[in-house]
Amino acid sequence: MKEQNSIPASKVARSAKFVGTGFKIGGNYIKHYSKKLFNPELSKDELNEDNAADIYSSLSELKGSALKVAQMLSMDKNILPKAYVDKFSLSQYSAPPLSGPLIMQTFKKHLGKTPDKIFDKFDLKSTNAASIGQVHKAELNGEKLAVKIQYPGVGNSISSDLKLIKPFAFRLLGMSEKELDIYMKEVEERLVEETDYELEVENSLKISKACANLPNIVFPKYYKELSGPRIITMSWVEGLHLKEFLKTDPSQQLRDKIGQALWDFYNFQQHELRAVHADPHPGNFMITPDGKLGVIDFGCIKELPDDFYYPFFSTTSTDLLDNKGETIKAFKALEMILPKDNPAQVEFYYQNYKEMIALFAQPYIKGEFDFSQTEFFDSLYGFGEKIAKMPEFKQARGVKHFIYVNRTNFGLYNILHELGAKVKTDTYKPHIKLAF
């Protein structure tokens, strides 16, 4: 893949990139409707592919929060056309890497020396380039290391980038303006944390220590003295990313083992730590040669406050969902039902949210769950598509914590589905209250 020698860093340069992309998309629409004059049956597939390619091309050059939003959208498979999901998912693994001079510049700025003066060996060619940074192999005192370098300007351009991407997101997501503002504000808060590499090292040390006793999970060792605000140095974890792992045709037993490790990792954090690794895309995990799950990125951590945790996870208990009055109280606490709703609206939202949570909660209820079954995912995404078309869901509903908690759990479900894993789901259960 061609290296990138510079990143548009100023607001003007980044804004110009978005404007240019807007013109390209306008041209794609003109081309589409010109063809449609001669072929009225023409679908939007080619238009979606052209638009997705142009948007991804721009975002991958800009890097940072703009590309991160594309990565997040690629995980929400039921809200975007397939062409966008396929193209945007590339940001999980393979954005264009930075050139050598930019890497040297970053090291000198943040650690005071070029990498050749710090490490015994340092590979200038990155092994992995994603939305916020890229990873390089290095060696020091005979130990293999992974060095993550953040792209220049990423941390300083979050707020302005999100304003620039808002019109694209508005068109793609079909949200109301108020809902989109809540979405973007929560995304901005997490991205500010995610670009703070010193905070990431602290989170990594804290969560890997708390999860140290979970079976079949490995974490890298972190080197604070070789890390800084835009650089993280950790031990190298050997292994394959999910797509590569699945190409080796692993046994069902191994798929289940990895799936169980992943389930336990997420649910231990959610229910025991009340803070969760909220970026469950496959690029953040490795499957090691001895069949364990390597967790290699802790950039995005979402804390779950009690006033969200209890009403949300208690509804995953069938006992609570069977009690209509208490379920409505929980939905009100989560702002899924609002004070201004009339009795007919309360009933409408109660019925629809109950159906949605009953679907989401299936893995929790059964004690063991086979994530390879397509019917469950068809029902889940079918329901998502159904409510996306309902005018009643155009207004903002639900507290802001849903954005990352939904992303976390649906991301987890999707990875388990790709693995085709069957897991025991009663290892770390939600703590519940049956009255609100």
Q: What is the mean pLDDT of residues 73-101?
A: 50
Residue 76, in any domain of the structure? no
- The pLDDT value recorded for residue 429 is 87
Assess whether pLDDT exceeds 90 at residue 68.
no
Residue 328, in any domain of the structure? yes
* 284 or 416, higher pLDDT: 416
Assess whether pLDDT exceeds 60 at residue 358.
yes
Residue 69, in any domain of the structure? no
Give the DSSP letter string of 62-131: H-HHHHHHHHHHHH-TTSS-HHHHHHHGGGGTBPPPBPHHHHHHHHHHHHSS-HHHH-SEE-SS-SEE-S
- The pLDDT value recorded for residue 110 is 87
- The pLDDT value recorded for residue 426 is 92
* 31 or 184, higher pLDDT: 184
Q: What is the pTM of this model?
A: 0.75
Residue 357, in any domain of the structure? yes
Residue 183, in any domain of the structure? no
* 235 or 393, higher pLDDT: 235
Residue 172, in any domain of the structure? no
Number of domains in the chain: 1
Residue 393, in any domain of the structure? yes
- The pLDDT value recorded for residue 173 is 55
* 214 or 403, higher pLDDT: 214
Of 70-74, 155-159, 222-226, 403-407, the poorest mean pLDDT is in 70-74
Give the DSSP letter string of 119-174: -SEE-SS-SEE-SSEEEEEEEETTEEEEEEEEPTTTGGGHHHHHHHHHHHHHHHH-
- The pLDDT value recorded for residue 336 is 92
The pLDDT tens digits for 9-57 are 555 554 554 445 444 444 544 444 444 455 555 455 554 555 555 555 5
- The pLDDT value recorded for residue 90 is 47
168 vs 161: CA distance, rounded Å: 12
φ, ψ for residue 372 (rounded to 5)?
-75, -15
User: Percent of the chain at pLDDT above 90?
Assistant: 39
410 vs 333: CA distance, rounded Å: 22
Structural domain for 246, as ranges: 239-436
Give the DSSP letter string of 260-326: HHHHHHHHHIIIIISEEE----GGGEEE-TTS-EEE-----EEE--HHHHHHHHHTTSHHHHT-HHH
- The pLDDT value recorded for residue 61 is 55
Residue 148, in any domain of the structure? no
Of 230-234, 337-341, 391-395, the poorest mean pLDDT is in 391-395
